[in-house]
Amino acid sequence: MSQVKPARLIRAADKGVTFQQRFTPAEANLDFLSCGEFDLPPGSKSQSFCLKHEECLLFQTEGASTVTVEGAGYFLDHYDTLYIPRGASFHLANASAAHSHIVQCSAPAANTHPVHHAKFADISSREDRIRRLKGKDVYLMHDVPEPADKLVAGYTFFEPRARSWPPHNHTDQEEVYVFIQGRGAMEVYESPEELSFVHSVDKGDMVTIPYLNYHPVFSQDVPVHFIWCIAGERYWIGDKNKDFMKGTTGPITT
């Protein structure tokens, strides 16, 4: 019996897994965060990836996929997140008949921590992992109790015609907002008198937030969902400064 394997023709129109780098720290005016996106057509599998010096978080923003990390498989459903430690090899597969989309955020890390799979179905049923603010809910997907060097992340869901309040900035955290549903607007500024960044935002847009910039979001006539991913000191602002939860104070610096 012949052991020679047959050839395969891969047509130009055949779509495979793609990774698009959206930004690196230098071009985003950040110190740590990089961000990219995986697109997985139905039935696709990726090669192996390894970030030798970085930890990363994967956010399943559309469809579903299976991510295998060092031989262990994790099924990511809609809005699930997966923390992958520095130096761990991983590959992705989409066995479904629907398109799959994953956002990846990464930052340098000196230490290796366990893989952590946060299921949105679980987090969204736990009041200890939800911060309910006026016109919006915040879901803490990779919070301080989950080991990491720099990364903290979650989702914020805005109701229609809501805004961030109070405005806040960070002295020791940089951040990115990745808009994954709806449309709205966002401002990023050092002081209100120098409001140079005012933009409409739609699905797929990303906004980087360097240190000491206030960064309010405004929804319009539809709900707005976005990923927030922090690199730096590991806390969520509402846990460090309780005034943020009250929503009645002026600008807050943390």
Q: pLDDT tens across 151-199, in order? A: 999 999 999 999 988 888 999 999 999 999 999 999 999 987 777 788 9
CA distance 208 to 195: 16
Which domains are delineated in the chain? 18-117 (2.60.120.10), 120-247 (2.60.120.10)
Strand partners, 62: 101
d(CA 138, CA 98): 28
pLDDT digit string, tens, across residues 70-81: 999 999 999 999
For residues 46-80, one letter each, b for 16 or more C-beta atoms within 10 angstroms of the residue's C-beta and e for the rest, the string is beebebeebbbbbbbbbbbbbbbbeeeebebeebb
Tokens 């847009």 map to which residue? Answer: 205
For 30-53, the pLDDT digits (tens) are: 999 999 999 999 999 999 999 999
Alpha carbon separation from 209 to 5, 116, 150, 193, 230 (Å, rounded)? 51, 25, 15, 18, 9
Per-residue model confidence as pLDDT tens digits over 99-152: 999 999 999 999 999 999 999 999 999 999 999 999 999 999 999 999 999 999
